[in-house]
Amino acid sequence: MNDTSTEGHADLHVGRAKRMAERAARIIPGGVNSATRAIGEPWAFSSAKGATITDGDGRRYTDYHAAFGATLLGHADERVNAAIGQAIDSIDLVGLGITDLEIELAELLVDSIPSAEMVISTLSGSESVQQAIRLARGATGRPLVVKFQGCFHGSYDPVARNVISTPELAYGRDPNSAGILDDAIDNTLIAEFNDLDSVTELFDQQPDRIAAVILEPVPHNVGALLPDHGFLEGLRELTQKHGSVLIFDEVITGFRHALGGYQEVCGITPDLTTFGKAMGNGYPVAGMAGRADLMSHFSSAGGKVMLAGTFNGNAVSMAAAIATVKALLDPEVDFYTHVFGLGDQMRAGLRQITAEFDIPAVVTGFGSVFVTYFLEGQVRGYRDLMRNNDSAYAEFHRRMIDKGSMMLPMALKRNHISLAHTQADIDRTLDQAREVLGAMAAEGHFATKRS
C-alpha cells in the first residue's frame, strides 16, 4: 500500500514550498493563477501521479480535489500521455482545415452524448458556455438568459453572477467580479434549483425575451444538489413551450457521471450541452454539442454566430480527449463500476461516522463525487445550503489535508474519486475522517442533533 499521509516524510527540502509561493507572489498576483488555488499550506506542488500529488516539501497527499474533477483516470495517465506523444510526432498546430484527430473525437462525442448531433471543440468550459449562450441568442434573437442561484458556468460575463452568494445577496444582484458591464449582468435572470415555479414566473414576467435556460443538471459547484423527480422534465417542457434553448452545462457531470453525461442518466435531452474538464483527463480541452439546426448558425457553416479560436481542435487536446474517451469505453477498464463503487463506500462510511459522533450532517453526491454538508434536514436548493455550517465544512477539509487527504478547504466544494484511487485509499481516508470528525465534535464545532 502506498502511504500518502504526511507522517514520516521528513525531507531535505522542507520549506521549499513556502519559498516557491513567496517567489510566485512577487511576479504573479497573489502568487496563483486562479484565486481558488490560494489555500495556504501546502503552498506549492512539484509532482502528480495517479491518485497522489506531492508538494514542494516532498509531502504526499491522496488527491480528492482532482483539479476540480478534471482527472478522471488519475494524474499522468500513461494511455493519455502515450497518445499525446504519438500525435505530436506527426502533427502540431496547423490552424487550417481539419485533422484526423478532430474528426475522430467529434465522431466519438456524437456517438456518446444524447444531445450531440454536431459538436465544436474549445479549450475551456468558459469558452464553451460563451459559445452556447451566444448561439442561443443568435438563433432566437432574444436577449435574456436564466441561470440558477449556486450554479457556476465559468468566467463569461453574463453568467459570472450569483454562485456562492451570501444570504443578503442570494437571488439578488451578485456579480462575481468588478469590471462586468451592467447590461451583461442584468440580462441574466436568477431562479432557484428544484423550484420550477421560480422559472415559470420568469417566463411570465419576460414573455418572448428569454433566449436560454442554462444549468448544471447536478449543481456541483455548491457540492451536489440532486434534481427532484420531474424538475429537469419540467424545464424541458417549459423551454419547448416558450421557444427557448435548454443548455446543460456538463463541464463537471459530463464523462464523470456517464459517458453521455448526466443527460444519459436522467433521460432528458437538452438543446445544447457544454462539456470539458474531464474529457481530456486534465489537458486543456472542452467543447459544445447540440441540435444540428442550432449549430448551423455558426459562421463556419455559413451562419451569423462567430466561431473562432486558433487553438480549437489542436493536436494535444484532441489526442488527450480521444484517449480518455476510449478508456471510458473500454470494458476492461470498467471505469464507472470502479469509481461508483468507491464513491458508494465513501458516502456510506462518512454517514456512519457522522452518526457515530451525533454530528448533524447530510452526506450526498453522485457516482464518484462525495460531499458532507454540516446541516440538518433536506438539501434541495441553494436556500437549504444557507443553513450549512460553512466554518466546520472548511475546517474539516483543512484537517483532512493535514492528515494526507487533499480536499479543497472551502465551504461547499465537492470531492472526487478517480480510476487511480484504490480501496486502500478509501479505507485510509475514512480512518482519517473518523479521527478528524471525532476531535471536531469533542471541541464543539457542531451543534448536537435535535431530538
- Domain residue ranges of the chain, discontinuous segments joined by +: 16-76+334-442, 78-329
Write out the three cell numbers for 422.
484504490
How far, rounded to the nearest angstrom, does the alpha carbon of residue 19 sit from its chain's CA centroid? Answer: 30
3-state class (DSSP) for residue 197: helix
CA distances to 356, 372, 402, 410 from 348, in Å = 12, 11, 23, 22
Q: Which of 311, 324, 312, 314 is nearest to 279 (CA)?
A: 324
Show pLDDT as tens, one digit a residue, over the chain (451 residues).
344 444 434 444 569 999 999 999 999 999 999 999 999 999 999 999 999 999 999 999 999 999 999 999 999 999 999 999 999 999 998 989 999 999 999 999 999 999 999 999 999 999 999 999 999 999 999 999 999 999 999 999 999 999 999 999 999 998 999 999 999 999 999 999 999 999 999 999 999 999 999 999 999 999 999 999 999 999 999 999 999 999 999 999 999 999 999 999 999 999 999 999 899 999 999 999 999 999 999 999 999 999 999 999 999 999 999 999 999 999 999 999 999 999 999 999 999 999 999 999 999 999 999 999 999 999 999 999 999 999 999 999 999 999 999 999 999 999 999 999 999 999 999 999 999 999 999 999 998 665 4
| Pairing between β-strand 286-290 and β-strand 369-373 as defined by DSSP bridges | unpaired
Q: Measure the CA–CA gap between 434 and 449, rounded to whole angstroms.
A: 18
Count of other CB atoms within 10 angstroms of residue 332:
5
- Across 134-224, where does the E strand assignment appear? 144-148, 188-191, 210-215
C-beta of residue 263 within 8 angstroms of C-beta of residue 249 = no
Find all residues with CB under 8 Å of 388, minimum gap 6, and list them. 373, 374, 375, 411, 412
Q: Is the dihedral of CA 171, 172, 177, 183 positive or negative?
A: positive
* CATH code at 16-76+334-442: 3.90.1150.10
Q: Measure the CA–CA gap between 121 and 318, rounded to whole angstroms.
A: 9
Overall CATH class of domain 78-329: alpha beta
DSSP code of 54? E
Q: Which of 196, 124, 165 is nearest to 412 (CA)?
A: 165
Q: Is the dihedral of CA 126, 131, 137, 140 positive or negative?
A: negative
Rg value, the chain, Cα:
22
Q: Measure the CA–CA gap between 174 and 331, rounded to whole angstroms.
A: 45
| Pairing between β-strand 144-148 and β-strand 210-215 as defined by DSSP bridges | parallel
Place of cell 451566444: 134
3-state class (DSSP) for residue 279: coil
C-beta of residue 349 within 8 angstroms of C-beta of residue 425 = no
Report the predicted TM-score, pTM, of the whole model to 2 decimal places.
0.94
